[in-house]
Structure 1
Amino acid sequence: MSKAAAFRALHQGRAPGDPLILPGPWDAASARVFVAAGFPALATPSAGVAASLGYADGATPADEMFAAVARITRAVDVPVSADVEGGYGLAPKELVERLLEAGAVGCNLEDSEGGVLKDPHEHAAFLAEVRAAAGDRLFVNARVDTFVHGDGDPERAVERAALYVAAGADCVYPILAPADVLPLLRAGIQGPLNALARLDGDGPSPAALGGLGATRITFGPGLQRRAAEALKGIAAGLMA
């Protein structure tokens, strides 16, 4: 079985309360830590990788992002999905080629640009081209930004998600959707559903998010930021 097929299989047949948990490595060292802990797959966060490279979120040049993803995939044997933001303006065929060259088996693609939601039909057409170019070699996670850059209307999120699933997306990611909205999204969206888990203790646990309808859990740049905070404490101790 290919890594892409293995990654796709991890999303199937999951029981409520048992979502696929995908930590987000920002470099090769963090990726190896997560694999050593027993996680079967990983999903890079664009903001976490950006921070590790010295860039603000959304400001990483495409070449540096793909190089960072390649370093991570070389360091581990498990499947790795890559957050490539909006695709860096690349044509679908080139985007797919760059992802495969970097060793990724999946990708996140956002439906907003510069804080503004894209036309959902145009974005669905883009996703369809990505799917056509990738075939079954990539697991496409279509991010729905209704709750971060839109009006937060769950019905609009479901409508956008339906277009993306019809275009060939394997999973839908309504980022920052409130936990109490997840059951409504689950009822209206076909296929796997990605939810963002917070690490500050204010939100539901990954298992609880799974019970609300999430198929898989990611953390955005949360793990990288927690690691940076821990390092600050160590650094402060060295100065004491």
Structure 2
Amino acid sequence: MTPTDRRGALRAGAATALAGALATACGTEPRPEPRPQSPAPAPAAAPAPRHYPGRPTEIASGPRERPRVALTFHGQGDPALARALLDRAERHGARLTVLAVGAWLDQHPEMARRILDGGHDLGNHTQRHIDIGAMSEADAHAEIAACARRLRRLTGSIGTWFRPSRTQHAAPAVQRAAARAGYPHVLSYDVDSLDFTSPGPAAVVANVTGRIRNGSVVSLHLGYADTVAALPLLLADLDRRGLSAVTTTELLT
């Protein structure tokens, strides 16, 4: 290196050191180069519906000889309440089944991934959550298929289960419409929490614990503060009884 080059290098080093000192004195550090962002994770994949030989088209409960139950949630409402409920279930080690309304997924598409990433079942609860029992078979099929398209677009699958809207039991026409849409079974329940009436957390727990037993499928709802508050109490009661809260798929396999 020539004397001229050496003097230039020393001046450049001094300038860099001075800039650093000034930045420190002024309370600001030179900003580091931004790191390249990692590519977005792949969309969560939902399992497809399954046929359970020997089970009726409408399933309301699982095997009674095993200490397992399925807590199933009609899926719509404030996503903040839904996330709070999922967080509480996961802290307890419980896995749920969420039957999502298609219009809700249109508004909150991120919830499909949130549900699946928590290890829960995700299914279909019609597109608009209106009285499917009052529809023609063709209109019922359109409602089911519309929600199925949302689920497929978001997860790669039409979802694991179908539950009719505004009714506990599916009429034969609704069962046929569901089968045409790709759902071999309709998911009903044998325990109703009545949480949608907002009776208070203690009443929600009492409504469930008064009837629950091995193999029960429980009807609950996202979007209700009483349900969020009741869930830890309900799960604690299940623990005392030796009952595990599992997905409906796990309940039946």
Coarse TM-score class (shorter-chain normalised): 0.3 to 0.5
Larger radius of gyration: 2
TM-score (norm 2): 0.42
TM-score (norm 1): 0.44
Question: Quick one: higher RCO (CA 8 Å, sep 6+), 1 or 2?
Answer: 2
